[in-house]
Amino acid sequence: MGLHLCLFITIYLSVSASIFNASSALSEAENYDEQALFGECSSAADCKAGFYCFSCGLLDSKCVRSMYTDQFQLLNNSLPFNKYAYLTTHNSYSIEGEPSHTGVPRLTFYNQEDNVTQQLNNGVRALMLDTYDFEGDIWLCHSFGGKCYKETAYGPANETLKEIEAFLSDNPSEIVTLILEDYTKEGGLTQAFTKAGLMKYWFPVSKMPRSGKDWPLVSDMVAQSTRLLVFTSIRSKEKAEGIAYQWNYMVENQYGNGGMTEGKCPNRGESSPMNDTTKSLVLVNHFRSIPLSPLSCMDNSASLLKMLNTCHADAGNRWANFVAVDFYKRSEGGGSFQAVDVLNGELLCGSDDVHDCVPAGSPRAAASYGRD
Ligand SMILES: *[C@@H]1O[C@H](CO)[C@@H](O)[C@H](O)[C@H]1NC(C)=O
Ligand SMILES: *[C@@H]1O[C@H](CO)[C@@H](O)[C@H](O)[C@H]1NC(C)=O
Ligand SMILES: *[C@@H]1O[C@H](CO)[C@@H](O)[C@H](O)[C@H]1NC(C)=O
Ligand SMILES: *[C@@H]1O[C@H](CO)[C@@H](O)[C@H](O)[C@H]1NC(C)=O
Ligand SMILES: *[C@@H]1O[C@H](CO)[C@@H](O)[C@H](O)[C@H]1NC(C)=O
């Protein structure tokens, strides 16, 4: 423990010293209202809507973004699902401060700070969940060897599925994607989704495009209320249960430290190469193998934007649809929210900010960041 703490502080201080660079942070966020972004603050009340008061490391607190830009509200939702980008949380269920549900203390890492309802309310639209058979039910667990333990379990999946159901029910124009690292037996997920009242939102595998074709229009998915996309890592479940096998539809770069080398965007083992355009969805992972919240504000800032460009080139000039991060609200300014604005801007109008896609003269040109 002592050694770890000491090592941690050493890494933390050296990274802080080399990365906190006001001029690069400024250029990263030059499109933003400087008062809102760089104004020092002592509480959320000092920041405008869509921002919160946060200190990245040892610096003074500043107002940084805490909320996405709703591209559908800013523009429209008449394009195919794969023409938009969505903020994605890695291990969305692994939340600091959530009590143990097994009676023994947890001995594992945390990847997020907000609960799933807060994540969704702030604009997260894809959740990465690890599902296991445990204690006679399906649990969310961060484990190894395909087996969940009391020390690594977070909680029964039903609670999280209920939060997702509540969000879809309260927000009839929103689409949520679940990406499951799945260790459950056949049949269990269908039963869990049915119990949670989620089957009524199910987007059927039969409508998922193969051979690199476009997805259905978001407006049609909303009209038909097929607003829940679920991908599993178990191939046989697509045929057996109608749960999409992720790697038939999506390419993804290496996760963890292997995906954070500047200038490189190798595919993860299970995925086709990034430039396999027969899969029409692209996911970029950008988080460390071992999550450390104090470092994530840098990981979610300038280096994330660089990686999106690298992966764009390596994915056959395709911008990511999903960008997956830890501690999604931590940043030096625009963070993961700005990253998604960049992606939506590139996808929708070839500009590096979705706000540039608003036609000149439109009443929405004055729309502010986020959803005030
Ligand atoms: C800070 O960033 C700027 C612009 O990216 C760069 O030119 C400069 O060398 C950096 N300074 C330090 C101390 O890293
Ligand atoms: C919807 O937005 C896209 C992207 O900005 C634009 O190309 C398209 O013309 C818009 N469609 C309608 C019906 O407004
Ligand atoms: C999520 O967090 C918010 C803020 O702390 C709290 O009000 C809400 O009850 C939580 N929801 C769940 C389902 O835990
Ligand atoms: C979830 O399942 C557990 C048993 O695994 C049960 O105790 C709990 O009441 C359930 N919660 C909901 C919201 O259904
Ligand atoms: C895809 O990328 C690989 C390297 O990962 C390269 O060898 C191959 O030529 C590329 N294919 C196309 C069609 O660009």
Please report the atom of ligand 5 found closest to the CA of residue 266: 5
Ligand 1 center from residue 25 Cα (angstroms): 10
Distance of CA 30 to the CA centre of its chain: 24
**C-beta of 158 in contact with ligand 3 (< 6 A):** no
pLDDT digits (tens, 9 = 90+) for 12-56: 444 444 444 333 433 334 444 544 555 789 888 899 899 999 998
Mutate to test the pocket of ligand 1, among 24, 262, 305, 306 (most ligand atoms within 8 A of CB): 24
Mutate to test the pocket of ligand 1, among 15, 19, 20, 21 (most ligand atoms within 8 A of CB): 21
pLDDT attached to residue 32? 47
Ligand at minimal distance from the CA of 21 is: 1
* Residue nearest atom 6 in ligand 5 by C-alpha distance: 275
pLDDT at 21: 38
Distance CA 318, CA 281 (A): 9
Name the DSSP class of 274. Answer: T
Which ligand sits closest to the CA of 264? 5
For 157-195, how does the pLDDT look when each residue is reduced to its tens digit (9 = 90+)?
Answer: 999 999 999 999 999 999 999 999 999 999 999 999 999
Give the whole-angstrom CA distance, residue 163 versus residue 115.
Answer: 9
Name residue, tokens 């690298």: 310
Query: pLDDT band at residue 362, thresholds of 50, 70 and 90?
Result: confident
| % of the chain beyond a pLDDT of 70 | 87
Residue 134: beta bridge partners?
Answer: 137
- 266, containing H or E segment: none
Which ligand has the nearest atom to the CA of 120?
3
pLDDT in tens, 295-315: 999 999 999 999 999 999 999
Q: How far does the centroid of ligand 5 lie from the alpha carbon of residue 316, in Å? A: 8
Only one residue has tokens 């942070």, namely: 25
Domains observed in the chain: 70-366 (3.20.20.190)
Residue 272 Cβ contacting ligand 3 at under 6 Å: no
Instruction: For the beta carbon of residue 353, count every other beta carbon within 10 angstroms.
Output: 18
Residue to mutate (ligand 3; options 89, 112, 118, 167; most atoms within 8 A of CB): 118
Distance 18 CA to ligand 4 centre (A): 47
Q: Is the whole model's pTM more than 0.85, yes or no?
A: yes
